[in-house]
Amino acid sequence: MVQVLRNVLGAWKTTRIRHCGLLAVDVASSGQWDSEQFVRARATLFESLRTAFEDSGVPWRACRTSDRGDGMVVVVPQRFPVHRLAYPLLDRLSAQLRHHNRYARSPLRVRVALHAGTVHIDRYGATGYAKVLLARLLESPPVRGALADAPESCPVAAIVSNTFYDDVVRNGYPGIELERYVPVDVHVKESSVRGWVHVPGYVSSDAERRLRSV
């Protein structure tokens, strides 16, 4: 027991605390696939992610990634502008998947969650409440519903945390369409938070009402 405590204390002392951009992605309806479809779709998603990051000026190799089986969590170092996750990355990812879906027997559609916050990085990877919130947003009914309601030509539905919205989206960075982010209430497990849903390339009825109110 003493040695275990020493190991825990030692791990804590070597933990690095960083404020990072966070992205999580998950494939919709992957449970319906067989193993061959799953492997191909996963490879397509990861390659599309890599390309979208590179095209957005965020080097893929500089990021810390963790595999979720049918998805991934990406921790972006604080030296890269976090607004690039909202634009152009979401649009680049959507374009990559649209191109793939034109020729695929099983179209690939994904949910994406974005957040920015403090993470603790140790020898096991990145952890902390920011990653927990990211997971809650990704699994929430509002973003699932947004993807289900969007036309097949829109392969990405994104949800951003309220923090990300306040710090990034509403600040008017080039390319980010503020009015297309729709506020939603997220209730998952013990979390009740505000999020903002956006579907690149599609204006939902809620987003249209926001556009008219401007």
Q: Report the C-alpha gap between 198 and 143 in whole angstroms.
A: 8
Structure tokens belonging to residue 177: 């369409």
How long a stretch of residues is the chain?
214
**Element holding 5 (H helix, E strand):** helix 2-13
Contact 130, 30 (CB under 8 A): no
Contact 159, 184 (CB under 8 A): yes
CA-closest candidate to residue 197, choices 142, 139, 148: 142
What is the residue-level pLDDT of the chain in tens, covering all 214 positions? 434 434 443 443 457 888 899 999 999 876 676 777 778 888 899 999 999 999 999 999 999 999 887 889 999 999 999 999 999 999 999 999 999 999 887 789 999 999 999 999 888 888 899 999 999 999 999 999 999 999 999 999 999 999 999 999 999 899 999 999 999 999 877 778 999 999 999 887 776 776 656 5
* pLDDT score, position 15: 77
* pLDDT score, position 127: 87
* pLDDT score, position 3: 40
Q: Report the C-alpha gap between 39 and 135 in whole angstroms.
A: 23
CA-closest candidate to residue 191, choices 142, 133, 108: 133
CA 146: distance to chain centroid?
14
* pLDDT score, position 6: 40
CA-closest candidate to residue 165, choices 196, 119, 203, 201: 196
